[in-house]
């Protein structure tokens, strides 16, 4: 039997614990505040921004949503970031990705103060994470670690294979897994004999953005499968990067899409905002 890792339920538990922490902060006159900046129109991003807003309100974080036109220049965005960097009432700043083509993602990531970098994307925070002394965590990989821990799934000593090497998921996932004593392999679009490698995995983390790409052939019987993907199939239905039906009675554990990694990403974003407010 395959156990589904219920991220939606765990995220609810995380949020209720955060509520107590924000109450303590508010009693001291500190209102945890998160600024979310979205540039241009992107239907997927709009969904995430809405989910973030709802979660923030629930836990007692003040979320400031800024929706800028798609024609916003890089300098305008940088000026805004600088304003929030300087504002002591703001504890977290998140710029929704992707950005329109006139704006350089790398420049923007570096402009956010590392102390307010709730995504953990700043090179300083990335460096600290890879050195094993994290100061801030990318939310999706952190949410995955929490989900595995909640189900007592051991990672130390395990063969972990990660599909995808993006800055937002694959690479930081690898660093976190190494920090937790896993033996890690990263694969990507140039990887040869992909299925032969992924079949070695005790824990397989899939973040490639290819709907239902991972079939039974990629997965060792009894492996733990973490599906990060969010894709819309031909019928417009939300599907992961993993073919769910193939995993049932094949994988030992599987994160569903929706209801797995996604809600944990948002819960971790809230947690990090509260942590930053507590440090302030």
Ligand X SMILES: Nc1nc(=O)c2c([nH]1)NC[C@@H]1CN(c3ccc(C(=O)N[C@@H](CCC(=O)O)C(=O)O)cc3)C=[N+]21
One of 99, 228, 267, 277 touching ligand NDP (CB under 6 A): 228
User: C-alpha angle with apex 103: 100 to 104, nearest 5 degrees?
Assistant: 120
Q: Is 164 annotated as a binding residue?
A: yes
One of 81, 263, 274, 276 touching ligand X (CB under 6 A): 263
Q: Which is nearer to ligand NDP, 90 or 212 (CB)?
A: 212
CB within 8 Å of 12: residues ≥ 6 apart? none
- According to the binding rule CB under 6 A, does residue 66 interact with ligand X? no
Burial class (CB in 10 A: 0-12, 13-18, 19+), 16: exposed
Q: Which is nearer to ligand X, 32 or 143 (CB)?
A: 143
Q: Which is nearer to ligand X, 155 or 257 (CB)?
A: 257
- Residues 102-141 touching ligand X, rule: CB under 6 A, are 119, 139
Interface mask toward ligand NDP for 138-177; x: CB under 6 A: --x----------------------xxxx-xxx-------
Residues classed as catalytic: 52, 96, 119
Yes or no: say if 231 and 239 are a contact pair by the CB < 8 Å rule: yes
- According to the binding rule CB under 6 A, does residue 188 interact with ligand NDP? yes
Q: Which is nearer to ligand X, 202 or 227 (CB)?
A: 227
- Residues 69-108 touching ligand X, rule: CB under 6 A, are 94-97
Residues facing residue 204 across a β-bridge: 161, 225
- According to the binding rule CB under 6 A, does residue 231 interact with ligand NDP? yes
One of 31, 259, 278, 280 touching ligand X (CB under 6 A): 259
Which residue in the shown chain puts its C-beta closest to ligand X? 262
CB of 232 to ligand X, least distance (A): 9
- According to the binding rule CB under 6 A, does residue 271 interact with ligand X? no
Q: Which is nearer to ligand NDP, 32 or 262 (CB)?
A: 262
Q: Is 244 annotated as a binding residue?
A: no
CB of 132 to ligand X, least distance (A): 23
- For the record, the structure tokens of 112 come out as 């956010």
Q: Half-sphere exposure of residue 274, counting CA atoms within 13 Å on the CB side?
A: 26
- For the record, the structure tokens of 153 come out as 């799934």
Which residue in the shown chain puts its C-beta closest to ligand NDP? 166
Residue 169: contacted member of ligand X, ligand NDP, none (CB under 5 to 8 Å, by partner type) = ligand NDP
CB of 272 to ligand NDP, least distance (A): 14
- As annotated, the binding site for NADP(+) includes 164-166
């Amino acid at each position: 039997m395959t156990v589904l890792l219920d991220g939606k339920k765990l995220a609810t538990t995380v949020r209720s614990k955060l509520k107590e922490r924000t109450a303590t902060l508010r009693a001291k006159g500190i209102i945890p505040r998160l600024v979310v900046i979205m540039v241009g129109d992107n239907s997927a991003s709009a969904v995430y921004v809405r989910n973030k807003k709802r979660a923030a309100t629930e836990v007692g974080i003040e979320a400031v949503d800024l929706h800028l036109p798609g024609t916003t220049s890089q300098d305008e965005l940088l000026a805004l970031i600088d304003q929030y960097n300087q504002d002591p009432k703001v504890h977290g700043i998140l710029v929704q990705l992707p950005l329109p083509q006139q704006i350089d993602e790398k420049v923007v990531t570096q402009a956010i103060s590392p102390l307010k970098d709730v995504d953990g994307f700043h090179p300083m925070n990335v460096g600290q994470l890879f050195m094993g002394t994290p100061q801030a965590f990318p939310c999706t990989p952190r949410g995955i670690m929490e989900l595995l821990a909640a189900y007592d799934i051991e990672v130390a000593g395990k063969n972990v294979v990660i599909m995808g090497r993006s800055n937002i998921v694959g690479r930081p996932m690898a660093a976190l897994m190494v920090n937790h004593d896993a033996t890690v392999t990263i694969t990507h679009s140039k990887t040869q004999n992909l299925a032969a490698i992924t079949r070695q995995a005790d824990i397989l983390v899939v973040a490639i953005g290819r709907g239902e790409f991972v079939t039974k052939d990629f997965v060792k019987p009894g492996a733990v499968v973490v599906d990060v993907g969010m894709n819309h199939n031909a019928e417009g239905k939300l599907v992961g990067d993993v073919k769910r039906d193939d995993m049932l009675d094949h994988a030992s554990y599987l994160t569903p899409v929706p209801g797995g990694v996604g809600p944990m990403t948002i819960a971790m974003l809230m947690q990090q905002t509260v942590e930053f407010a507590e440090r302030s």
